[in-house]
Structure 1
Amino acid sequence: MNDIVQPGSAQLGTVFAAAVSREDQWRQLSAYARAWAEASANGGATEDLRTNCRTQLAQISRLEHCWAYPGTRLLDTLRDLLEAGDASSVARLARKLSAALMSGDYRRDESAWDAAEASDARLLDTLPPDLDSGAQGKPYFEVLVVTPSDPAQWLRSADEVRHMRRGEDPFEYAVLHVGSFEDGALAVMVNPNIQSVVLVDGFQYTSKHDLPDLKQFLARNMDIDAKSIEPGAISTRLARAIDGYRPEIDLYLLSDRSPELLAASEEAAPIRRIFHGIEEPMELHLAILDGIKDRYETPYFDNLKKYAMRPIGTFHALPVARGKSVFGSNWIRDMGVFYGTNILFAESSATTGGLDSLLEPTGNIKKMQEATARAFGAKKAYLGTNGTSTSNKIVVQAICKPGDIVIVDRNCHKSHHYGFVLTGAQPYYVEAFPLTQYSMYGAVPLRTIKQALLDCKAEGKLDRVKVIDLTNCTFDGHMYNPRRVMEECLAIKPDLVFLWDEAWFGFARFNPLHRARTAMGAAAALTRRYRSEAYRDEYKAWKEKNPNPDDATLLDSGALPDPERVRIRAYQTNSTHKSMSAFRQGSMMLVWDEDFHQVEGPFEEAFFAHTSTSPNLQLIASLDLARRQMELEGYALTMRMTELALRLRQTINAHPLISKYFHVATPADMIPAEFRESGITDYGPPHGTWADMVDAWHNDEFALDPTRITLICGSAGFDGTQFKGLLAEKFDIQINKTSRNSILVQTNINNTHSDAALLIKALADMARDIEKRLAHEGKTGREVFDARVKSLMTDVPDLPNFSRFHDGFRENPKAASNEGHMRPAFFMAYDEDNCEFVRLNSEDVERRLKDGPEMVSANFVIPYPPGFPIMVPGQVITADTIAFMRKLDVKEIHGYHAAVGIKLIKPSVLSGRASSMH
């Protein structure tokens, strides 16, 4: 339906967000119909315009059976008017339907379902049989019914459902019917309004609709093999397929087989409830509402609203509670005016009265944690109110103890490094592949991670390697293949713990493409895989070929873990506030650990150590609401934001003027070819199809998240910081992260097409300004401009790798593994007598780099950007690090003050340390 280049295509091979491109198609039909009506009214040629309308409506109709609105009656009416040549009525009705789809009016206004305004008596009987006029204003969703019944009965069936509705029902839904497995699967994929699916036993597998590319599309997106479906199992097989694609959807089965036996089978596990035929239609109706209610309920937020409305007398340490100190003030009354009463009435330091305790939850926070775990596909969930910086420290402290080795990306967030200092764990730093041209790093190759494991194995300390700690996805959009990473590392050490920092990636759970690249998605998939008989057979065959696999086999081939020994132990942290509708510092810790009983005590201690005893109640409530939103509309929102990002990428890079000065980095720019096995270079036509993107995301070692757009501005003569400021000051566009020659444009569920247009317009305006300026300034101006571009795009500093820990902080300086004792180095700096300073550009630096003694960092040095530590406590400082620092043009460098210089541990102190270590 959307080929990105020409919105309005209905080829499934290029579908991304069908709901978005569907709106484009309807707008195009409305435009064609309006042109036809105007030509008809003015006596102009009309036949070609009428043909355009026919062709566009035919395109739209290919997939309209997947939506409840506008439904069969309105579509038939539109076709009848078109064939009758009533151009003005077609234009009015097409405009009405297009507007209703774009605004969502059909969800809350029953007149959107009524086409009577098209001035034809045949249109009066178009009120849909599946909307209750007494239910306006309630949350709306759609129920898909997959049924073997005659399509001629579907309208009557929907009418019967309508009559079961009651005024006290909390939600409103419309019913749509399809008659096959393929149509049911397709509807779930393209229609995000579907929240419940009713499967009526006996439907056929094959669609009767004319969709030649349907089978390919379904096979690419769902694990479907029609030949493997046993007789009588088509309903449960479809249930499993839907559950794998959109696990949030409630599934119901109506069967005339023995429901008691069916309910106990493994095949029926994803199904919420099984009914015997249609003997209890009202129970089905109530079950559907109850399923939505489970996801809609926000235990903490609901209780907080009730608390705020109670007449409370506060005698605790929180003066702003109830707002009396604010609204009764002569001086800060404007605070109450600005924030309103609810935020103050809903404040308290009490944990009674239904508010519960974040530290020892037994009531609604406990229920909230359970709902969060369900929504995000975890075994357990904990709530963070101090940001993911603190969540990372909690998890690191829970799963590590002094002496444990952690194989970790040197470029991970500083909170991980501080966590190692707190716990005494020894980081074994592994390097990501560099993107020197953009002054940023990518992600750590799997081979590098496995080599680190094998180095520890060769030195007899594999038992001490506890954790693999990686950032997924990175700030710049590099997504690991967590399933592949976990499987191949577990083949070397089957009880490894994986900490995936998914601070920027919390939204990824809610669409199937991103979900495959998440920690919890990988944990669920590997758990199913290792428990299956098929995997045991696969492992047995591999073991027969590799009875005693050597290190080369483990390093370079897809080794398999022993199903009898392997444990799935994955932790994910996410900054809920970064990608979902939560207040700042809202975070989550998700757990899938088959040995969590060994960790639960330490985890609680770490949680107590780092979590405030006075957490912000509004922040907790926002986490509750963020979960509700994502579980009910996360699929629609994440698909829409990704579609928007794809359009931005395409528009910028294809625009003849904008692309002269600005460029969005493609997968080929951001990921070296050896890690893109698919060979994909960019997303969307003319570079490839949507199918190519799906295949790349499923199989490549690294993939690039399209929602994180690295916009190269160096070719326009702007460094990242300068360009960020210009966008903010002149165009009111806010950007977070920059590099030497780029900015990061991040689309999220908050963005709209208007936001995208604002950015495109800004880039076009700046490109035109550059053209005018260069034309005015002549040759001299062009030379100055070219020199500036060269300095930003060509004369870029090399990126420094982690060197090594000083011998005084290593147990075996000659070992291939590079882990070190960072904690003692960190605390040495607390005593100023242990430290000295050298100025960055002094002769002392050059002399010591050449002749010694070695310079060893006393603390973390973290420039922003790029935001990773180029020095950690105990690290030997080398020439490439000094060269990089000298070329930095950023103002913010944590741990470094130019006035005093680089803080070092004195050689005399290091000498004593080395003697005691060895």
Structure 2
Amino acid sequence: MNDATESKGMELSSVFAAASARAGLWRHLNAMARAWAGAAGAGSRSSELHGKTGRLLRAISRFEYCWAYPGQRLLESIRAAHESGDAATFSRLVQKVSGALLSGDYRQHESAWQAGAEGEASLLDVLPPDTDGGPLARPYFEVLFVTPGDPSGWQRSADDMRRMRRSDDQFVYSPVHVGSFEDAALATMLNTTLQAVVIIDGFGYETAHDIPDLEAFLDRHVEVDRDSIEPGKLATTLASALKQVRPELDIYLLSDRAPELLAGSDEVAPIRRLFHHIEEPMEIHLSLLDGVKDRYETPYFDNLKKYALRPIGTFHALPIARGKSVFSSNWIRDMGQFYGTNILFAESSATTGGLDSLLEPTGTIKRAQEATARAFGAKRAYFGTNGTSTSNKIVVQAVCKPGDIVIVDRNCHKSHHYGFVLSGAQPYYVEAFPLTQYSMYGAVPLRTIKHALLQCQAEGKLDRVKVIDMTNCTFDGHMYNPRRVMEECLAIKPDLVFLWDEAWFGFARFSALHRRRTAMGAAADLTRRYRSKKYREEYAKWRAENNDGKLDGKDASLLDKRLMPDPDKVRIRVYQTNSTHKSMSAFRQGSMMLVWDEDFHHVEGPFEEAFFAHTSTSPNLQLIASLDLARRQMELEGYELTLQMTDLALRIRQAINTHPLISKYFHVATPEDMIPAEFRESGIKDYGGSEGNWDEIVEAWNNDEFALDPTRLTLVCGAAGFDGTQFKGMLAERFDIQINKTSRNSILVQTNINNTHSDAALLIKALADLSREIESRLSQEDANGKAVFDARVKSLMTDVPDLPNFSRFNDSFRDNPKSGSNEGHMRPAFFMAYDENNCEFVKLHSAEVDKRLADGPEMVSANFVIPYPPGFPIMVPGQVITADTIAYMRKLDVKEIHGYHSAQGIKCLKPSTLAESKASSTH
């Protein structure tokens, strides 16, 4: 780190990575402090290092008031040592702080807060006590106090709060004091250890600190119009603003106004509890602990632990419960040794004794699901124990009935397509923009979705359009702007249901950056928006300018016009599914269904039936408990974890794309590579590193039609001569690096809350090693060998097959073959193939295929055909097979194609069967 970047990491343009930047700056200061101490008495060298450490200390101190540690006393001691030229003391104190931030020592040991050298603890001394069987250390958090009090008294106030700690307190916290609205907003975003905010009425708006870019920063991240704040409402306005950024925080208000009158007003809705100024400090202390306890409680997991300790006699159908059949066995005792006793003692097929029933929850599962709804910002939450594949089918079957039209991304997960088969809904397939160079699709443009809706309106069947079904974010990281999509679609049909498959995106609720792109975040935003006086005024103006709000489905200009729904008619009906196990600490197949549906009372019965149809009567108890625990973790530390994973992803991206050797053969695809310019209105081309362009990113994510999730890195390997499958195998076999998804010339590197800097180093080291090997090999090749390598790269990076779009359903499966919309009856086509007499097989590379493409009769797919990669269906039951699809299949070089066996050929419905079906069809 050089002088130019010493303070860069703590500029507000990098605020989302400030927690890791802060620790890095302290470590850098520690190195420089040691150098200064080592150069003491060395004349100009010592003077130079004294100046550098001073500049870096000032850069660090710019925002240090946002954290409790190291605190005012320790910071003053560090500054005093620097000002007096005491390099040894300065080095010792900086090392203490840097080490404590790295190890977390300050969370449990008072000595870390003191300037003295006594009782110093090494990194090994502060490992969690439970590693050797001792008691768990009490979880630590910090509390923000926003106060009009004199800053000279804040240290005394902090000491008073610390003295209220009791030995039987479940948690330990330290206070952080700030004196203004701006400081409170900044601290809430920077300090990831905050769990609560205590607002004491009477503070001002502006900061007293010298932060010239603070106001512009807050305008980008907090929706507050300073000029419109009514007198006396600054405290409640702050509470609402902080909930926008950190909805999980407990907020308390201390006011000298009559709290019993204030408590009934809408303005205190974000506030957990009101107090009359500071008359009850112990009650405040207990309330802080109780608020965190509410989020810490895991009703199902807590009871499962108790159940495992009870002496239970089991006479139900689960021999493995209690482990007797395992531990007494001569042959599978190693199972018990491997898994341990708890997993067996915590097994049962009973739903009594507090274990509750997933199918009819009345106790601990019900409370766990209620906590999940609160944490994820939903009205209701349901646990899924067979992955989001099943969750998607449950939602589709619950909200759709035979004949309903669903406008759906053709490239969505296969579970949606199977859901349409089960429900009898008719999919109206819409296409995502293609990324042919990577053999993948992006996301569906809003213009395409609006066109489908308006077309249905023009043909008189808008009433049959029930659901918009999209994947957000996609496997490859394409994020919709759900708020904009839903608003414009609701302007055309105000009671539309939206199903957002956020299988890979469950973590996003807890990231202030990602949340703006989530389904539940958009549902909450739109609900507030349509209830506001401001929106009614905007809508009245828009309506007057747009034919009194009447939309003509034949009016092509509507495709490019911003549409607004009638606030008196609009209904917010949003379902989100997430694969908790894909981005949070849950066991495999753990999933959640989140609901924000103002008309759920009409859906609750069908939803229950669909849930019964797809959910096992013997769900895995450990899986349910892990969902409970995943919620706890994310609600208490998800903000911190998601910032860390995003920061790490940006560091990996920058390290690969700027490395002089690695970047010759590998690179991470940028937003410019992955999102066409017309959907990237901000013009952003790339995401900078951890000290990069966060201001531009926030602007892009607020306004662009599509954005790219930086935690999902498409690592292009084709320039190294590796196809995705080959490279995935090589990473696993040689470097112990596991990857899920590949494309023709890339792999997907997915960072999550489990990843560390060591993981990043492992990946980058592997890429560097491979790059050196390629360089060495090519340097020894003759012209012919280099030509072979170039040809391989060309085949992977240039000679890529075009991606086939959905063609159409055969006329036998359409109500009106002349209709411009492409919805069709997939269910009868799917079950028609159950009778082998209705089917035929046509060899892919045969002359018969080419003849039938040219002369007929049409080939109609009898089943789903899904190549992996890319993993989307290129054929669905009832679809007419076109030349584009055949050309794509012939160029595929993947080993896994679900629904297709090369020895048999393409499974088609016989033309004679289709003719009979068309003649007699009632669907």
Distance of aligned partners of 1:686 and 1:638 in 2 relative to their CA distance in 1, 3 Å threshold: closer
Residues 165 and 210 of structure 1: CA distance in aligned 2, closer, same or farther (over 3 Å): same
Once the 2 structures are TM-superposed, how far is the Cα of residue 553 of structure 1 from its aligned partner? 4.3
Aligned residue number for residue 851 of structure 1: 855
Q: Which residue of 2 aligns with 1:457?
A: 457
Asked if 1:916 corresponds to 2:920, the answer is yes
Match of 2:866 in 1: 862
Matched ranges for 1:145-294 at <5 A: 145-294=145-294
AA matched with 1:732:
D
SS of 1:15 mapped into structure 2: helix
Bigger shift: 746-755 or 771-780? 771-780
Matched, 1:85 2:89: no
Q: CA deviation at 1:81?
A: 1.2
Identify the residue that residue 315 of structure 1 maps to in structure 2.
Answer: 315
Paired letter, 2:560: D
Which position in structure 2 is the counterpart of 1:338? 338
Q: Which residue of 2 aligns with 1:299?
A: 299
Cα distance in 2 for partners of 1:188, 1:114 equals: 25
| SS of the residue 1:152 aligns to | helix
8 Å Cα contact 2:14-2:690 kept in structure 1: no
- Cα deviation code 1:321-355 (max 9, x no counterpart): 00000110101111000000000000000000010
State the Cα distance separating 1:8 from its structure 2 match. Answer: 5.3
CA distance in 1 between partners of 2:270 and 2:151 (Å): 27
| Cα root mean square deviation, aligned | 1.8
Secondary structure of residue in 1 paired with 2:469: strand
Answer yes or no: is the 8 Å Cα contact 1:681–1:687 preserved in 2: no
- Which residue type is aligned with residue 192 of structure 1? T
How far has the Cα of 1:9 moved from its partner?
A: 2.7
| 1:274-423 → structure 2 map (5 Å cutoff) | 274-423=274-423
Show CA shifts across 1:9-66 (max 9, x none).
Answer: 3221233221110011001100100111122277883110111111110000000000
Q: Please tell me whether residue 592 in structure 1 is matched to residue 596 in structure 2.
A: yes
Aligned counterparts, 1:675-714, within 5 A: 675-684=679-688, 689-714=693-718
How far apart are 1:109 and its partner, in Å?
2.2
Of 655, 659, 666, which aligns to 1:655?
659
CA distance in 2, matches of 1:899, 1:57: 70
CA contact (8 A) 2:439 2:743 kept: yes
Tell me, what secondary structure is at the counterpart of 1:208? coil
Distance apart, 1:549 and its partner CA: 3.6
Residue 124 of structure 2: aligned partner: none
Distance 1:119 1:368, change over 3 A: closer
The residue type paired with residue 56 of structure 1 is L
For 1:361 and 1:21, how far apart are their aligned partners in 2?
45
Q: 1:741 aligns with which of 745, 763, 773?
A: 745
Once the two structures are TM-superposed, the CA of residue 844 in structure 1 deviates from its matched residue by 0.9
8 Å Cα contact 2:111/2:119 also seen in 1: no
Task: Determine whether 1:14 maps to 2:18.
Answer: no
Percent of matched pairs sharing the same residue: 75
Partner of 2:697, secondary structure, is: helix
- Partner residue, 2:128: none
TM-score by length of 2: 0.96
Residue in structure 1 matched with residue 70 of structure 2 by the alignment: 70
3-state SS of paired residue (2:824): coil
Residue identity in the other structure for 2:321: A
Instruction: Give secondary structure in 1 for the equivalent of 2:782.
Output: helix
Query: CA contact under 8 A between 2:7 and 2:59: conserved in structure 1?
Result: no
Aligned mate of 1:786, from 790, 805, 809: 790
Q: Show the counterpart of 1:905.
A: 909
Counterpart amino acid of 1:310? R
Alpha-carbon displacement from aligned partner over 1:132-173 (angstroms, at most 9, x marks no partner): xxx992000000001011111111111211222211110000
Q: Which amino acid aligns with 1:762?
A: A
SS at 2:577's partner residue?
Answer: strand
TM-aligned CA deviation for residue 459 of structure 1: 1.1
More deviation, 226-235/61-70: 226-235
| 2:762 corresponds to 1:762 | no
State the 1:889 CA deviation. Answer: 1.0
Contact 1:385 1:615 in 2 (8 A): yes
2:571 corresponds to 1:554? no
Q: C-alpha offsets along residues 100-159 of structure 1, whole Å, 9 cap, x if unaligned?
A: 111212112222223311899xxxxxxxxxxxxxx9920000000010111111111112
2:809 pairs with 1:805: yes
Aligned partner letter, 1:870: I
Residues 302-332 of structure 1, C-alpha deviations (whole Å, 9 max, x = no match): 0000000000010111111000001101011
Q: 1:685 to 1:347 in 2, by over 3 A?
A: closer
Aligned partner of residue 897 in structure 2, secondary structure: strand
- 1:637 aligns with 641
Instruction: Give the direction of change, closer, same or farther, for the CA distance of 1:788–1:621 in structure 2 (3 Å limit).
Output: same
State how far apart, in whole Å, the 1-side matches of 2:145 and 2:177 are: 5
What displacement does 1:689 show? Answer: 2.2
Which sections of structure 2, spanning at least 5 residues, go unmatched?
121-134
Matched residues in 1 for 2:854 and 2:691: separation?
50
* Structure 1 runs not aligned, ≥5 long: 121-134
- Amino acid in the other structure paired with 1:306: K
Q: Distance in 2 between matches of 1:306 and 1:549?
A: 60
Counterpart AA for 2:380: K
1:642 aligned partner, one-letter code: T
Determine the C-alpha separation between the residues in 1 that align with 2:630 and 2:467. 30
Distance 1:84-1:3 versus aligned 2 partners, 3 A rule: closer
Task: Determine if contact 2:17/2:690 at 8 Å carries over to the other structure.
Answer: no
Letter of the structure 2 residue corresponding to residue 267 of structure 1: E
* Per-residue CA distance 1:562-590 (angstroms, 9 max, x = gap): 11111000000000000000000000000
Q: Which residue type is aligned with residue 587 of structure 1?
A: S
In structure 2, which of residues 885, 888, 892 is the aligned counterpart of residue 884 of structure 1? 888
User: In structure 2, how many angstroms separate the alpha carbons of the residues matched to 1:766 and 1:492?
Assistant: 53
Contact 1:8 1:22 in 2 (8 A): no
Q: Secondary structure at the match of 1:429?
A: strand
Output the amino acid matched with 1:406. Answer: V
SS at match of 1:491: helix
User: Which residue type is aligned with residue 363 of structure 2?
Assistant: G
Aligned pairs, number: 904
* Counterparts of 1:356 and 1:673, CA distance in 2: 52
Confirm or deny: 8 A CA contact 2:393 2:415 kept in the other structure: yes
Note the C-alpha offset of 1:760: 0.8
1:770-828 deviation line (CA, Å, top 9, x unaligned) = 11100011322211111000000000000000000000000111100000000000001
In 2: Cα distance, 1:223 partner to 1:468 partner: 29
SS in 1 for 2:257: coil
Of residues 464-473 and 544-553 in structure 1, the stretch that sits farther from structure 2 once superposed is 544-553
Which secondary structure does the structure 2 equivalent of 1:336 belong to?
A: helix
- Give the distance between the partners of 2:586 and 2:821, measured in 1 at CA: 41
Give the alignment partner of residue 572 of structure 1, picking from 565, 569, 576.
576
1:612 offset after TM fit, Å?
Answer: 0.3
* 8 Å contact from structure 1 (residues 472, 479) kept in 2: yes
Task: Report if the CA contact (8 A) 1:471-1:501 is conserved.
Answer: yes
Matches within 5 A, 1:486-565: 486-546=486-546, 547=548, 548-550=550-552, 551-565=555-569
Residue 82 (structure 1) shift: 1.3
The match for 1:129 is none
Q: State the 1:635 CA deviation.
A: 0.4
- Select between 65-74 and 11-20 the one with higher mean Cα deviation: 11-20
Amino acid at match of 2:210: D
Whether the aligned pair in 2 keeps the contact of 1:402 and 1:423 (CA below 8 Å) is yes
Name the CA shift for 1:54/1:5 in 2 (closer, same or farther; >3 Å). Answer: closer
State TM-score, norm by structure 1.
Answer: 0.97
Deviation at 1:2, TM superposition (A): 13
Q: Matches of 1:359 and 1:9 in 2, distance apart? A: 50
List per-residue Cα deviations over 1:518-567 (Å, max 9, x = no partner).
Answer: 11001000001111111111111111111234333432211111111110
Q: Give how far 1:94 is off.
A: 1.2
1:214-239 residue CA offsets vs partner (Å, 9 max, x unmatched): 11111111112222212111111110
* Moved beyond 6 Å, runs of 4+: 1-7, 41-44, 685-688
Secondary structure, in 3 states, of the residue corresponding to 1:116? coil
